[in-house]
Structure 1
């Protein structure tokens, strides 16, 4: 475990941060990482929740802002492609 576990969690955190840039919900992020980066939803959810604990104010504001705006499908498709590309870079 050790270093490889920390590296994996860091990779998941990095991918979650990319989802946040594109205004995705936790569920959307879990689905995207599962589909495009082969990360189990429970892992994404756990890391997301830990990020929420560590950054409570940010996530409160993120949730508020997210409720005010809805992303377009085209943007989400670009995000999914970007996540897939990032996953390939991280894994290979």
Structure 2
């Protein structure tokens, strides 16, 4: 049982790394692995927690990086909406003249 448990944990570890590549947080990873790989969220959360303990600096930087990306993405989203509204207003003005 020990080898199969270690292999399973290694698999979960690998899948968590894949989630990190896709910039997922722990909750998103838990949901993805539950739906896609039939891994119980408690297992994912436990392995993630152990990885955080072993790689504290990485996960701190990862969290900061995710927060910054989300902030930048939100700013870009708002700018695109402003541009769309502005372009729409210009087009409507031209159509009415």
- TM-score (structure 2 length as normaliser): 0.71
- Aligned counterparts, 1:44-55, within 5 A: 44-55=44-55
Superposed displacement of residue 43, structure 1 = 0.1
Structure showing greater relative contact order (alpha-carbon pairs closer than 8 Å, 6 or more residues apart): 1
Unaligned runs of at least 5 residues, structure 1: 73-92
1:45, 1:62 → 2: CA distance? 16
1:53, 1:41 → 2: CA distance? 18
Q: What do residues 31-69 of structure 1 show as CA deviations (whole Å, max 9, x unaligned)?
A: 000000000000000000000000000000000000011
Q: Which has the larger radius of gyration?
A: 2
Matched, 1:57 2:36: no
Q: Which has the higher helix share?
A: 2
Q: Which ranges of 4 or more aligned residues in structure 1 deviate by more than 3 Å?
A: none
Matched, 1:16 2:16: yes
- Superposition CA RMSD, Å: 1.1
